[in-house]
């Protein structure tokens, strides 16, 4: 079988996505994100054998937002194993990522760990003191990416806190049902900071490589989680990773993936690679409009959808 020319594929995608630029909308409900220049695009591939390919604004750091939920879920599974599923369910939500209605109907048990309520419960599950937990999260992401300069963007975290009225409502509603063990404000501080991690696309593709490599960080050859847990997280990304647009993403792209309203999306081809894309303009579902199209083209040209 001929070796796939990933760089040529990235260059082709970079040209073909140009007509889609300008057709989305930057997330403006977090005011600091509204300042990000819209006309940016970057994409990166990291293979399990150590090859890397990039194109576009690949050195620009952006707020990963909900992509961070995969990292905290990994930490929760390392800490609690399957006990985490006593507090959060495993089903697609079918509603917006910040829905309060579903949370009340289901007695404070979030539908999955990738909607906001679910991620807040996961943050509570790994809580070991506010400062210690934040340090644990950033160290974990630095280890996965190999970039020790990764940071929490405090301006983004403060903007999240100041305008996070619905998240506060979700945290307090969850606590009223007895599914939040710690003070809501302290848990939310952890949640806001994890969403405010700044990375570029290459950092992001490197940091997800363990999910393409049966739970092993191929850069260090260290096991992050078990192969069984890796399968579980990939399954959840496939069914719940792109808010209420997971069906469209599975249909058009066909990979487990996770998105964030900062415009990033990362996906994995099991046993082969991880691929990250960033373009800040979003579609109606809150996913990067150009990013989704770029990943559709990627799996088409590389012929590496899981289906």
The DSSP letter of residue 282 is: B
Q: Which residue out of 70, 261, 275, 277 is catalytically annotated?
A: 261
The tokens for 76 are 């929760």
Strands 222-223 and 257-259: unpaired
Q: Which residue out of 63, 66, 68, 240 is catalytically annotated?
A: 66
Q: In which element (H, E) is residue 43 found?
A: strand 42-47
Instruction: Look at the block and give the residue holding tokens 């960080």.
Output: 217
243 catalytically annotated: yes
Q: Which residue out of 191, 240, 259, 292 is catalytically annotated?
A: 191
78 catalytically annotated: no
Q: Which residue out of 32, 48, 69, 216 is catalytically annotated?
A: 69
191 catalytically annotated: yes
DSSP secondary structure of 193-253: HHHTEEE-HHHHHHHTGGGGTTTEETTTTEE-S-HHHHHHHHHHHHHHTTGGGHHHHHHHT
Integer CA distances (angstroms), 305 to 43, 181, 252, 292, 299, in order = 17, 40, 9, 14, 5
Q: Which residue out of 6, 53, 210, 243 is catalytically annotated?
A: 243
Instruction: Please identify every residue annotated as catalytic.
Output: 66, 69, 191, 243, 261
């Amino acid at each position: 079988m001929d070796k796939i020319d990933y760089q040529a594929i990235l260059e082709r995608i970079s040209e073909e996505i140009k007509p889609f630029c300008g057709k989305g909308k930057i997330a403006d409900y977090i005011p600091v994100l509204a300042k990000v220049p819209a006309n940016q695009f970057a994409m990166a591939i990291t293979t399990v054998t150590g090859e890397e390919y990039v194109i576009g604004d690949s050195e620009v750091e952006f707020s990963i937002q909900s992509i961070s939920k995969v990292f905290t879920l990994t930490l929760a599974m390392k800490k609690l194993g399957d006990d985490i599923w006593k507090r959060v369910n495993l089903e697609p939500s079918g509603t917006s990522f910040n829905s309060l209605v579903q949370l009340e109907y289901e007695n404070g048990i979030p539908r999955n760990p990738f909607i906001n309520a679910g991620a807040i419960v996961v943050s509570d599950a790994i809580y070991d003191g506010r400062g210690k937990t934040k340090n644990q999260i950033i160290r974990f992401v630095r280890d996965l990416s190999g970039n020790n300069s990764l940071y929490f963007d405090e301006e983004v975290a403060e903007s999240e806190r100041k305008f996070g009225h619905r998240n506060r409502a979700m945290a307090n509603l969850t606590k009223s049902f007895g599914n939040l063990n710690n003070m809501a404000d302290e848990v939310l501080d952890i949640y806001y900071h994890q969403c405010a991690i700044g990375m570029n696309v290459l950092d992001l593709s490197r940091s997800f490589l363990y999910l393409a490599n049966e739970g092993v960080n191929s850069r260090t050859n260290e096991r992050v989680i078990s192969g069984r847990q890796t399968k579980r997280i990939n399954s959840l990304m496939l069914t719940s990773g792109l808010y209420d647009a997971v069906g469209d993403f599975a249909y058009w792209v066909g990979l487990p993936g996770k998105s964030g309203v900062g415009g990033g999306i990362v996906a994995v081809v099991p046993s082969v690679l991880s691929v990250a894309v960033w373009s800040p303009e979003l579609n109606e579902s809150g996913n990067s409009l150009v990013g989704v199209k770029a990943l559709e083209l990627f799996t088409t040209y590389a012929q590496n959808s899981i289906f």
